[in-house]
């Protein structure tokens, strides 16, 4: 590799890093508490349920929806989701099918008693602020796409850093940190070492983060393509005046896909369903399949299964990228590892910014001589 080629790659690494560094620092800092969001929620929120007599059975989903609607007269059901570790369903209601997020009410209903045990409408807590900063900078879809572009620049910076690593460090043993030299050289060695050690993790987290920022356009495309094809025969039908039992609709969907569990239900008329259907979203019951969703459309007037279709590859990529990004599929040990690598990424970004701020005004060739040689030889050249 010639010095000219190295210089070109160095400039790519320099400018892609500089453009994205501050935003990546923000994402790493906000991502750190998000890795432990379950544990933080357990410490800051009381998720315990009131005691009930032993042997108390569960009420129906229809009873839970009725309880939520009784709390907000004049509203209608929009969505229903299931807690992972409690006999609780979260019922979203609103004044109309097209209600805005601010108009919605989300009631956590204890299925043993149909009592409301919590409201999920608070968007002012610490974890919510961290999530919004991490996802879209409080800027909605433009913020998501902007952060996706920053993530792409991070991947380019990582790739170009690998290219320049070998020639810059060719005369040093792997892992060497020259603590007795200048502070700049010490931080340069540490920056290079951590960059190589965390290469795979940074690449995976960066690329899955980019995929996650495309969730809104990907879901919109799925609705206009796959969902539209599934509901085409019912396109012009109005919303039924009366719905069949929600419990029966969920059972019908589960019977059509043995070994699955419901994750959430979209009521007729909302954007994840059609005017004429319950959309029951099923997930696998094992750790390996619980991120894979299968939507089933159940006729809200007759209770018959209308359609069921596996998610396309781009939606599978989106679903599988989420646990990879936050490391929340392997329990607490994996979360601790993800946190340690996140801290390493913060050091890499911070040291890269430091190296740029204190760099001496010398040419790339002069820096190569400083690090370890008058000239980096081309492949195959005699040393």
Residue percentage of the chain with pLDDT more than 70: 92
Phi first, then psi, for residue 170 (nearest 5°) are -65, -25
For 51-86, the pLDDT digits (tens) are 888 888 999 999 999 999 999 999 999 999 999 888
pLDDT category of residue 181 using cuts at 50, 70 and 90? confident
Phi first, then psi, for residue 243 (nearest 5°) are -100, 150
All structural domains of the chain with their residue ranges: 3-17+134-212+329-372
Contacts of 252-257 with CB under 8 Å at 24 or more apart are 252/296, 252/298, 252/303, 252/304, 252/305, 253/280, 253/282, 253/296, 253/298, 253/305, 253/308, 254/280, 254/282, 256/296, 256/305, 256/308, 257/282, 257/294, 257/296, 257/308
For 330-365, the pLDDT digits (tens) are 788 999 999 999 999 999 999 998 888 887 555 455
Secondary structure class of 236 (helix, strand, coil)? coil
pLDDT category of residue 374 using cuts at 50, 70 and 90? very low
For 14-39, the pLDDT digits (tens) are 899 999 999 999 999 999 999 998 88
Q: Are strands 260-266 and 116-119 parallel, antiparallel or unpaired?
A: unpaired
| Helix, strand and coil in the chain, % to nearest 5 | 55, 15, 35
Q: Identify the DSSP state of 302.
A: T
**C-alpha R_g of the chain:** 26
């Amino acid at each position: 590799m010639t010095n000219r080629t190295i210089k070109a790659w160095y400039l790519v690494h320099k400018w892609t890093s500089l453009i994205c560094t501050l935003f990546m620092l923000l994402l790493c800092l906000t991502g750190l508490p998000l890795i432990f969001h379950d544990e933080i929620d357990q410490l800051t929120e009381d998720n315990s349920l009131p005691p009930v007599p032993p042997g108390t059975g569960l009420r129906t989903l229809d009873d839970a929806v009725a309880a939520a609607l009784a709390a907000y007269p004049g509203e209608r059901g929009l969505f229903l989701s299931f807690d992972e570790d409690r006999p609780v369903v979260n019922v979203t209601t609103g004044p109309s099918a097209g209600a805005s997020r601010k108009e919605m009410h989300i009631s956590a209903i204890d299925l043993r008693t149909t009592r409301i045990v919590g409201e999920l409408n608070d968007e002012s807590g610490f974890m919510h602020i961290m999530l919004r900063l991490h996802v879209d900078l409080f800027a909605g879809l433009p913020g998501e796409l902007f952060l996706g572009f920053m993530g792409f620049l991070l991947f380019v910076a990582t790739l170009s850093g690998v290219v320049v690593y070998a020639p810059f460090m060719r005369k040093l043993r792997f892992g060497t940190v020259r603590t007795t030299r200048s502070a700049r050289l010490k931080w340069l060695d540490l920056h290079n070492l951590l960059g190589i050690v965390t290469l795979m993790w940074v690449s995976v987290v960066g690329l899955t983060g980019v995929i996650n920022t495309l969730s809104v356009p990907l879901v919109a495309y799925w609705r206009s393509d796959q969902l539209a094809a599934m509901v085409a025969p019912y396109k012009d039908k109005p919303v039924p005046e009366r719905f069949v039992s929600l419990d029966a609709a969920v059972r019908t969907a589960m019977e059509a896909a043995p070994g699955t569990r419901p994750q959430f239900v979209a009521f007729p008329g909302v954007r994840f369903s059609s005017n004429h259907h319950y959309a029951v979203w099923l997930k696998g019951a094992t750790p390996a399949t619980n991120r894979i969703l299968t939507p089933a459309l159940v006729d809200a007037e007759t209770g018959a299964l209308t359609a069921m279709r596996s998610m396309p590859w781009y939606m599978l990529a989106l679903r599988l990228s989420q646990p990879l990004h936050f490391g929340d599929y392997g329990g607490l040990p994996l979360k601790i590892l993800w946190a340690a690598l996140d801290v390493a990424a913060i050091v890499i970004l911070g040291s890269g910014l430091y190296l740029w701020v204190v760099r001496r005004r010398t040419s790339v060739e002069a820096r190569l001589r400083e690090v370890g040689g008058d000239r980096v030889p081309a492949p195959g050249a005699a040393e």
